[in-house]
Amino acid sequence: MGNDPVRIGEQLRSDAVGTWHRAEQSGQPRTLRILREDLVGREDARLLFEEEVRRIRRLDHPALLGVHHVGASGERPFLLTDPIDGETLADAAPLPEQAVAALG
């Protein structure tokens, strides 16, 4: 991340291996995905997290999550991405029948 420090904000979500935090870098909204603190030292969790990061980084499309930085070294690997705290399909639920058919 060099000269562009990241400000880490509130936790947005948590799952089996990581947490998602609101973040900001150079005035731009970002999301920080980081290995859960309680899993530090667990090789199985680290491998699973690193595989997730590898898969996300391989995807390159304007409609998908953009990756800005990956930190693979250290105790807690992380991923800095586009923000994920916008609207979701759950926010739009229940979807109209035509929208559900289009998604299928």
| Cβ count near 14 (within 10 Å) | 11
Classify each residue of 51-87 as buried b or exposed e, where b means 16 or more C-beta atoms within 10 Å of its C-beta: ebbeebeeeeeeeeeebbebeeeeebbbbbbebeeee
pTM, rounded to two decimals: 0.76
CB 84 within 8 A of CB 30: no
Predicted pLDDT at 92: 65
Residue with tokens 């859960």: 36
Beginning with the edge strand found earlier in the chain, give each strand of the sheet holding 6-14 in spatial order.
Answer: 6-14, 18-25, 28-35, 78-81, 67-71
CB 56 within 8 A of CB 66: no
**pLDDT tens digits for 8-27?**
999 999 999 999 999 999 99
**pLDDT tens digits for 43-95?**
999 999 999 999 988 888 877 888 999 998 889 999 999 998 766 666 766 77
Work out the mean pLDDT of the chain and round it to a whole number: 87
